[in-house]
Structure 1
């Protein structure tokens, strides 16, 4: 009986961390949506980050939402479109032999969309069964990365010197 209780507590603990990770990713994607207001093609990128923000918020409230048809269809459509844009941007970055991708707008766009695709794929079918240690560990690592990267670039102004003006003024 003690082993069952311990397993149930572990699953509950992992589920709570999973929900917290989704809340933080929702906040990150919402912030990424907000900073697009100065971008020349803001509407496109606001949708690109806004959709995952809403989808993650739903998971934060109810992890089993990933098993509903509307959530899956929206997530799958977003992954499909974002994956196509990621492929095009990746091709362009490779063709132009760009190595410091965070210094190029296309590189930042590529990275941001890759993050949305990876996160939504990680979330897919997460409500089907209790989340496991591997998914939660991966989620925690991915959740920390964009916040640390954003803070790093915010603190080190010299890294943003070559960015276009619309990337420097949102926050």
Structure 2
């Protein structure tokens, strides 16, 4: 028996997508002085736009939705997830072989974290196609993923000692 969706669930799902769109947009903006900024801006702007579309209309991910945007949304998110997953795999391998510090103190570790967050969010949006309003477990995961990068950013901003070993281009944007 399928459980009924709580009346607040669709609003929470939309809010999570809107917050993640804002996070990804902010992540793109802070790349301005990164040596490979053009690449990272694209990596973050694609999920920012896709999450914003889900925030405006959760049905954009739904299978069988009579909207050509569904095909575009699904195709873009699938290709982006594949790209980010492959890149994250390469960074994880490099990080495991060469890391001297914790994941957030190594540039490759921060890049890996960003790719994992992008991939996790896009995968969660993809899975919402079966239930655009969101089931309980789906929403719980969405809230955790939404809060994680935002709280991490606050923690990193407040922890000046952690940022002391970062390259200059990472210190001057925050």
Q: TM-score, normalised by structure 1?
A: 0.91
Moved over 2 A (4+): 127-130
Map of 1:21-170 to 2, 5 A cutoff? 21-67=16-62, 68-98=70-100, 100-129=102-131, 130-170=133-173
Judge conservation of contact 1:64–1:128 (CA < 8 Å) in 2.
no
Judge conservation of contact 2:106–2:166 (CA < 8 Å) in 1.
yes
| Structure 2 unmatched ranges of 5 or more | 63-69
Over residues 44-93 of structure 1, what are the superposed CA-to-partner deviations in whole Å (9 max), with x where a residue is unaligned?
A: 00000110000000000000111311000000000011111001000101
Higher helix share: 1
Partner of 1:3 in structure 2?
none
> How large is the RMSD of aligned CA atoms in angstroms?
1.4
Judge conservation of contact 2:27–2:44 (CA < 8 Å) in 1.
yes
| Structure 1 unmatched ranges of 5 or more | 1-5
**Residue 8 (structure 2) pairs with residue 13 (structure 1):** yes
Q: Distance in 1 between matches of 2:88 and 2:138?
A: 23
Corresponding pairs, count: 164
Moved more, 124-133 or 134-143: 124-133
Over residues 13-39 of structure 1, what are the superposed CA-to-partner deviations in whole Å (9 max), with x where a residue is unaligned?
A: 111101100000000000000000010
